[in-house]
Amino acid sequence: MSRSGEVACPHRPPCPGCPRFGEPGIDRQALDVLDALARDAGLPPVTAVSGSATGFRLRARLAIRGRRGAPKLGLFEAGSHRVVTIPHCSVQHPLINHVAAVVRRALVDADVQPYADGYHAGLARYLQVVIERSSQTAQVVLVGNCPDADPLAACLDLIRQRLGSDLHSLWFNANTSQGNAILGPTFRHWHGPQAVIENFGGADVHYPPGAFGQSNLDIAARIIDAVREQVPTAARVMEFYAGVGAIGLSLLGRAGSLGFNEASPLSLQGLEMGLAVLDDADRARLHVVAGPAGEACEAAAGADVVIVDPPRKGLDAPLASWLAAHPPQRLVYVSCGLQSLQQDVLRLTGGGLRLTSLQAFDLMPYTGHVETLAVFGRN
């Protein structure tokens, strides 16, 4: 704590990770935008759900840069490839900080050259860490600027030995591109289980290392609970942008039938893992439509409830148009992009849908981000 009583962070500045560090709740400007949407729809002011202010981040991607024998692990300073080290980050789960320290020491002891952006040289490029809540262990991915794991084998073995019982699983990822992508397409399993498993609504959800997952699972679980409340018993449900199925699988005890649409092969891998552990009766009520949401619009035909959880850019235009023209009884929209939500509300309500409720969630505390649950009904 500082003398004024405000929360202090030893890494700010220049760490850019928490631009609103110490400020409680959701960004006021974001709430003002949502309140305006609510007023236009004749709804009351938006309620906001917040959670813990420390240790909430269970996923981290840290850049590895610096010199041989003196690697730096952390976040890029704004507008640069200069790494800000964050060994005492208070918003990350403490095990993430421990893993980063162990990996740094292993890079030194294995004499691994960190990656250099300007020269596209060096081996160790990024570190991804995911904490599994039930076991309190870490899924660790070391990203290398090499097509296979052999040049990093000694380092990977040191990480496995030194993390011991704190390690869930260890992976190598090959990323030899010259862009800003963090993960490449190829993973090699080094040690431990194939996926982190989380439970939502009584369903096990599987996260292989390349699949998308939320970093704040306390708030993510509360969003999923709120979505479940919008699904009537025995409803026919179609979910677009389903990822590994965190929302949809949580509806198994409520929905009559479930459809999942997802485009990412790595997320589809996790979804298939989740479906594989179900009994025959539950699997018979499910189906998967792989591919872009904009090409799978007709999968929503006959659904009582359509759930969409698109990326920040919002709904694929063909899907937004299809839903406006063929409105389901209920559309449940989980938004991570405020500007795209505004645009999609206009498109959807310009057709056969009306906005019936809005709720905000502080999924990424200390940022300007807001996660929104918007519910639509037929006109």
* Pair (159, 96) in one structural domain: yes
Task: Answer yes or no: do 274 and 319 share one domain.
Answer: yes
Mean pLDDT, rounded, for 56-78: 97
Q: Taking CA 291 as the corner, what is the angle to CA 290 and CA 296, rounded to the nearest 5 degrees? A: 90
Q: What share of the chain is helix, strand, coil (3-state, %, to 5)?
A: 30, 30, 45
**110 assigned to some structural domain:** yes
Q: Do 240 and 163 fall within a single domain? A: no
Token readout for 358 is 């809005």
Asked whether residue 7 is domain-assigned, the answer is no
If asked whether residues 108 and 251 sit together in one domain, one would say no
On the question of pLDDT at 5 being above 90, the answer is no
Q: Of 194, 228, 253, which one is at a domain's C-terminal end?
A: 194
**Per-residue model confidence as pLDDT tens digits over 351-370:** 999 999 999 999 999 999 99
Do 181 and 133 share a structural domain?
yes
- In a domain, residue 170? The reply is yes
Task: Kindly state whether residues 145 and 103 are assigned to the same domain.
Answer: yes
Residues 242 and 335 in one domain: yes
Domain assignment of residue 21, yes or no: no
Identify the domain boundary among 194, 229, 259.
194
Query: Do both 37 and 81 map to the same domain?
Result: no
In this structure, what CATH number is given to the domain that contains residue 105? 2.40.50.1070
What mean pLDDT, rounded, does the chain reach?
Answer: 96
Does the residue 163 lie in any domain? Answer: yes
Quick one: 163 and 36 in the same domain?
A: no
Considering only the C-alpha atoms of the chain, give the largest distance between any 2 of them, rounded to a whole number of Å. 65
Q: State the pLDDT at residue 1.
A: 38
Residue 300 confidence (pLDDT): 98
What is the DSSP secondary structure assignment for residue 350, as one 8-state letter?
Answer: T
Q: Are residues 39 and 110 in the same domain?
A: no
Residue 145 is assigned to a structural domain of this protein: yes
- In whole angstroms, what is the distance from residue 219 CA to residue 221 CA? 5
Given this model, what pLDDT does residue 4 score?
39
Number of domains in the chain: 2
Q: Assign residue 328 the CATH number of its domain.
A: 3.40.50.150
Query: For 119-156, what is each residue's pLDDT tens digit?
Result: 999 999 999 999 999 999 999 999 999 999 999 999 99
- Whether residue 76 is contained in a domain is answered as yes
Q: Which helix (H) or strand (E) holds 125?
A: strand 124-132
DSSP 8-state secondary structure symbol assigned to residue 48: E
DSSP H or E segment with residue 118: none
Same domain, 223 and 368: yes
Q: Do the domain assignments include residue 10? A: no
Answer yes or no: is pLDDT of 157 > 80. Answer: yes
Domain of 272 in residue numbering reads as 28-53+216-378
* CB-based contact 127:175 (threshold 8 Å): no
Instruction: Judge if 274 and 246 occupy the same domain.
Output: yes
The predicted model scores a pTM of 0.95
Q: What is the pLDDT of residues 216-232, one digit of tens each?
A: 999 999 999 999 999 99
Peptide bond into 265 cis (omega under 30): no
Output the CA–CA distances (angstroms, integers) from residue 121 to 115, 151, 171, 271, 332, in the order listed: 6, 13, 21, 36, 46
pLDDT band for 329, please (50, 70, 90 cuts): very high
